[in-house]
Structure 1
Amino acid sequence: MQLWRLRQRIHVSWVIALGCLFFVVGVWLAQYVPLSAWWMVAAGLLAVFGVWRRQVFILPCIVVAGLLFGICYGSIISKGLAVYKPLIGAQVRLEGTVKQDPSTTAKGLVVLQLDHVRYESKDMPGVIWVSVLGDSEAKRGDIVVVSGKATTGFGTMALTMFMAKIVSVRYPQPGDIGRVVRDWFAEAIRKGIPEPEASLGIGYLTGQKSALPPDLATALQIAGLTHIIVASGYNLTILVRLARRAFVKISKFLAVFSSGIMIMGFIAMTGLSPSMTRAGLVSGLSLLTWYYGRKFHPFVLLPFAAAITVLFQPSYAWGDLGWQLSFAAFAAVMIVGPLFQNYFFGEKKPGVIRQVLGETVAAYVMTIPIVVPAFGVLSNVAIPANLLIVPLVPLAMLLTFIVGVTALAIPPIVTYVGLPANWLLEYMTFTAQYLAGLPWAQTKVNPTWWMIAAYIVALVTICVYMQRKTKFSLRGVNIVE
C-alpha cells in the first residue's frame, strides 16, 4: 500500500506549483548562494524528468529543479546589479524615469523610485531610491536627472541617494497616460469634495496614497487601514466583481471582457507596484478559469502567481515588503478566511458583514509575521477599524466616481451631488483618526525569530485542523466571485 502511494501520479498543476514555489525560494537564496548559469542544464533535465513521471517519489527532482532555476536566475540578475558597486561613496549624476508616484517622508523629504537608469550614457539595470529636499514637480513617468552621493541599496533597491538634488526634469509627451487621466479625474473630484476627504476618496478609487495628508496617512496606518487606500488587490477586486456581476447576465464573454478592461485600466492608473502586479495577475487568471468553467486551487495559484511576479522582477523576493504583504493577504482571503467561515458557520454563505469580518481577521493574523518584525508594532484596533469602514468602501468608491463625472458633465451642481460622498468620507476619516488616537491603539513588539516561527507553525496547524474537521474543499474558492 505504501509503495503504491509512492508511485501514485500527481496532477501536472501540482507539480508545476511545487516547482514555482521552490523557484521563488531559489531566487531568494541567490543572495547567499550564487551559482553559474550552467546549473540550469541540470535543472532542466530534472524538471523534464519530474513532469514526465509525476510520481510522489520523483517530487524531490522538482524541488531541486525549482531551486536551481531560481538560484541561477537570481544570480544572473545579481551580477547585473554589480555595475553599481564602483559608484558607492562617490558623487554621481544619474538619469532615470519616475517609476511610482513620489511619496513624502515624515521629515518632509520627497522620495522617488527611478528605473530605466542611465549613467554616463550607459543603461543601468534595476531600480534606485532617491530622496530630495523640498517640493518636486516630477511625477510618475517623468524623466529626472539627480545629483548626489551614492550609497548602498536596500531591499529591492540597487542604489540609494539621500538628500540628492534634482538637476532637471523632462516631461515626455504624452507621458504616462494612465497617470494623466487619473490626475485629471482627481482634480474634478476635488471640485465637489473638500480635503482631506477628497484625497481619501481618490485613494479608494485610484489607489493614490501620495496625495493624503501626513496625519491622515499615519492614522490609517495605525488603524490597520492602509491596504484600502494603496494600490492593492482589494480595490481591484471590488471593481472586477462589480463588472463581472453587472454583465454576467448578458454573457460570460462580456463579463470577462469588461472585467479585463477594468484590470488594465486600474493598473494603468496605479502603476505596476508589487501588490498591483500580484492583484492583476491573480484576478486575470481567476477570470479566465471562471470563464472556462474551471477552478484554480489556491495552493496552485499562489506559488504560480508568485513565480510569475518574481520572474518579472526578481528583487521582489529579496525583501519587498509590499510584495510579501500582498501575497500574505491573498493567502488569507483565499485560504484562511474560507476555512474560518466554514469551521465556525458551516456551509451557509456569509453576508457582507460576516465576510468582511472573516477576511479582516484572516488578513490580520496572516500579516502579523511580516508586519511585526518590519515595524516593531502591532495594531490593536485593526479589526474594529476594518469592520466599521471596509464594508462601506464600495459605496464610497461609487459616490466618489459620481462626483467626478458630475464635475466634468454638470459643474454647477457638483457641490450638492458631492454631499453624500463627503458625509460618508467624513465618517471614515473621523473613525480612523479616533481609533488611531486611542492610547492603546498599538503595541510595541520586538519578537525573536523563534517566536515568529512558532506563530507560523501554530497558524498552519490550526488551518490544517479546521480543514480536517470540516472537510472543506478550497478548490471552490474564487476571488472574483
Structure 2
Amino acid sequence: MTAGPAPDVPGIDLRLVPAAVTCWTVTAAGVWWGPWAALTVVVIAVAAVVGVGLRVGSVRWPAVLAVAAVGAAFAIVATVRVHAVDSHPLASRFGTTVSVTVTPAESPKTIQGGRLMFAASLQRLQDAESSGRVMVFAPAVGYSDVSVGRPMAFRARVTRPKRRDLSVAVLAAVGTPRFGTASTGQRAAAHVRAEFGEAARLALPPDQAAMLPGLVLGDVSAIESDTTAAFRRAGLTHLTAVSGANVTIVCGAVLLSAALVGPRIAVALAAVTLFVFVVIVQPSPSVLRAAAMGSVMLMGMLVHRRRQAIPALAASVLVLMVISPALAVDAGFALSVVATAGLVVIAPGWSRRLVNRGWLKLIADAVCVAIAAQLVTAPLVAAISGSLSLVAVAANLLVAPVIPPITILGTAAAALAWCWPAAAQLLIRFTGPELWWLLHVARWSAALPGAAVRVPSGWGGALLLGGATVAGALLLTMWRRRRGNAIRP
C-alpha cells in the first residue's frame, strides 16, 4: 500500500512520499470500507516501511514512527467523518420528502433526460441549520438560474448516495425553488463567466465558441454531445476540464513579467492571479485540486529541480487530505497526482535519453510528456470509463502547441470581457485558428478505425492495465540490461 524510505531515485527526494501515500490510502480505505480497513492499511504501511528498511540494511525508526502516527491520525479522521455521514439527520429520512436549503458548489451539468446535476453544501434541513455535502438532481425547468454560491431552497426527495464519497444524501428536487443572493465575489465571478461566453459567441463560429469556455474556464455546458464523444475517443477529454496545466500556463505567463518588475513582485502577481483564477473558474474541489497540482508543476519550473517537485507534491497530498478527505476517493484527484508524478519522475529521464540520441529538446520533451502521461494514467482512465484511447498520445502531441496560446489569450479575454468587451472579442478572434485545429484533430482522431477499445471498467480494468504497464516496464528493463551486458567488452 505504501513505499518505504528506500534510497532516493537520483535527483528526487522521496522522504515525504511514504507519509503522503499512507494518509491517502488510509483515508480512502476508511471512507470506502470503514475503520477496520483503515487500521489494516496502517499496519500494512508500517510493515512495508520496516520491510524496506531491513532490505536496505537499516530500519529508520523515525520514519516508521512518522508513518504510524500519520496513518493513525488519518484513520481517526476518516472514521469520524464517516460516522458523521452515517449519523446525519438526512440518513433517517431516506425515501421521504423534505425542505432543504443548499448552496451549489459547482455549475450544474446537463445529463440524460435534460435534467441538471450538481454538488452542493447543505445549509438548512427543514427549519434547522445543517451541513454536509449533497448531490442534487433537478429538472431544467425552473432551475435554470442555479449558480455557484447562490443559496436556493426547495423540496426534495431524499435517497441514499450510490457512492461512498462522504456525501450525506442524494436530493431529487421537486417543485419551484426560491433563490437567495450569492456573495459579491461569486456574483462578480458569474458576471465574468457570462460576459466571456457572450464575447466568444460574438467572435467565433458556434463550435469554437462552445469549446473556448471549456478550455479556459472548464465551462462545458455549451459543448455538444458529439464533440464530447469525439474528445473522449481521442483521449483529449482532460482539455475540457480545468487542470494543473491551466494554472501552470497562466501563472507562468504572469511570471514572465519578472524581467520588468522583478522576481518578488512577479511572484506576488502570480499568487494574486492564481487566487482570482480559482474564484472565477469556481472553487470546486476539482479546481482547488488543479490549483494545488498546478502550483507544484509551477514550482518545478521555477527552481528547475525535480528534487523539489516530489516533496511539494507529497506535501500537497497531505494538506488536501486534511482539508477535504473526500478527495481520497475522487478519480480526478488520483489522475492529477499520478499524472504530475509521472511528468516529474519519468518524462525528464526519457527526454534526456532522446536528446543524447540527437533529438531536439523541445520535441523530446513534448513526446515524453505525452507518453508518460498516457502510460501512468491509463489504468485509472480504464477504471473510470471502461475504454482506452489508442490515439491519445498522437492526438495530444498534435494539439500541444495550440493549448498555451488558447489558455493565455482566453484567460486575458476573460479578464477583459466584463469591462472592455471589444478588446476581449479581439483577443478571442486570435484563438480561432488554434480552436479550429484542436476540434479537427479531435474529430479526425476519433474517426480512425480502432481509435479506442473497450476494457473492463472498475478495479478489473485498473488491475489489467496496471499489470500490463508494470510487466512492460520490467521487460523493457530486462532487455536494456541484457543489451548493455552484450555490448560490454
TM-score by length of 2: 0.79
Equivalent of 2:124 in 108, 118, 122: 118
Alpha-carbon distance in structure 1 between the residues aligned to 2:391 and 2:303? 41
TM-aligned CA deviation for residue 182 of structure 1: 2.7
Alpha-carbon distance in structure 1 between the residues aligned to 2:426 and 2:295? 38
Alpha-carbon distance in structure 2 between the residues aligned to 1:116 and 1:258? 35
Q: Do 2:119 and 2:136's aligned partners in 1 also have CA atoms closer than 8 Å? A: yes
With 143-152 and 445-454 compared, the bigger mean Cα shift is at 445-454
TM-aligned CA deviation for residue 26 of structure 1: 1.6
Counterpart for residue 94 of structure 2:
88
Query: Residue deviations 1:289-312, cap 9 Å, x none?
Result: 887898753442232211211111
Equivalent of 2:152 in 144, 149, 172: 144
Aligned CA RMSD, in angstroms, stands at 3.7
TM-aligned CA deviation for residue 370 of structure 1: 0.8
Counterpart for residue 202 of structure 2:
191
Equivalent of 2:60 in 54, 57, 62: 57
Q: Do 2:413 and 2:427's aligned partners in 1 also have CA atoms closer than 8 Å? A: yes
Q: Residue 18 in 1 paired to residue 2 in 2?
A: no
User: Aligned with 2:184: secondary structure?
Assistant: coil
TM-aligned CA deviation for residue 421 of structure 1: 2.6
Identity %: 21
Instruction: Summarize the Cα distance change of 1:230–1:289 in structure 2 as closer, same or farther, 3 Å threshold.
Output: closer
Query: Residue deviations 1:298-349, cap 9 Å, x none?
Result: 44223221121111111111x2111111112211221222232133334989
Q: Residue 451 in 1 paired to residue 464 in 2?
A: yes
Alpha-carbon distance in structure 1 between the residues aligned to 2:397 and 2:103? 39
Equivalent of 1:130 in 136, 142, 153: 136
Tell me the amino acid that sits aligned with residue 109 of structure 1.
Answer: R
Instruction: Summarize the Cα distance change of 1:323–1:291 in structure 2 as closer, same or farther, 3 Å threshold.
Output: closer
Alpha-carbon distance in structure 2 between the residues aligned to 1:463 and 1:272? 42
Query: Residue deviations 1:261-280, cap 9 Å, x none?
Result: 22112111122334432332
Tell me the amino acid that sits aligned with residue 442 of structure 1.
Answer: A
Q: Residue 238 in 1 paired to residue 241 in 2?
A: no
Alpha-carbon distance in structure 2 between the residues aligned to 1:352 and 1:409? 38
Alpha-carbon distance in structure 1 between the residues aligned to 2:23 and 2:190? 34
Query: Residue deviations 1:224-270, cap 9 Å, x none?
Result: 11212211111111112212233246422122112212211211112
Tell me the amino acid that sits aligned with residue 281 of structure 2.
Answer: T
Tell me the amino acid that sits aligned with residue 376 of structure 2.
Answer: M
Query: Residue deviations 1:101-159, cap 9 Å, x none?
Result: 11111432211211143212334343111112224211111112233321221242331
Gaps of 5+ in 2: 7-12, 39-57, 483-489
Tell me the amino acid that sits aligned with residue 138 of structure 1.
Answer: V
Q: Do 2:406 and 2:435's aligned partners in 1 also have CA atoms closer than 8 Å? A: yes
Alpha-carbon distance in structure 1 between the residues aligned to 2:134 and 2:205? 35
Counterpart for residue 28 of structure 1:
28
User: Aligned with 1:158: secondary structure?
Assistant: strand
Q: Do 2:248 and 2:298's aligned partners in 1 also have CA atoms closer than 8 Å? A: no
Alpha-carbon distance in structure 2 between the residues aligned to 1:306 and 1:367? 17
Tell me the amino acid that sits aligned with residue 71 of structure 2.
Answer: L
Q: Do 1:143 and 1:172's aligned partners in 2 also have CA atoms closer than 8 Å? A: yes
Counterpart for residue 477 of structure 1:
none
Query: Residue deviations 1:452-475, cap 9 Å, x none?
Result: 452354477589889999xxxxxx
Q: Residue 364 in 1 paired to residue 374 in 2?
A: yes
Alpha-carbon distance in structure 1 between the residues aligned to 2:341 and 2:445? 27
TM-aligned CA deviation for residue 164 of structure 1: 4.7
Equivalent of 2:223 in 212, 234, 252: 212
Alpha-carbon distance in structure 2 between the residues aligned to 1:453 and 1:16? 24
Counterpart for residue 44 of structure 1:
none
TM-score by length of 1: 0.80
Instruction: Summarize the Cα distance change of 1:206–1:226 in structure 2 as closer, same or farther, 3 Å threshold.
Output: same
Q: Do 2:100 and 2:122's aligned partners in 1 also have CA atoms closer than 8 Å? A: no
Counterpart for residue 336 of structure 1:
346
Q: Residue 158 in 1 paired to residue 168 in 2?
A: yes
TM-aligned CA deviation for residue 91 of structure 1: 1.8
User: Aligned with 1:237: secondary structure?
Assistant: helix
Alpha-carbon distance in structure 2 between the residues aligned to 1:24 and 1:458? 25
User: Aligned with 2:211: secondary structure?
Assistant: helix
With 167-176 and 263-272 compared, the bigger mean Cα shift is at 167-176
Equivalent of 2:282 in 271, 285, 294: 271
Counterpart for residue 322 of structure 2:
311
Alpha-carbon distance in structure 2 between the residues aligned to 1:331 and 1:363? 9
Q: Residue 100 in 1 paired to residue 103 in 2?
A: no
Instruction: Summarize the Cα distance change of 1:370–1:337 in structure 2 as closer, same or farther, 3 Å threshold.
Output: same
With 221-230 and 175-184 compared, the bigger mean Cα shift is at 175-184
Q: Do 1:127 and 1:158's aligned partners in 2 also have CA atoms closer than 8 Å? A: yes
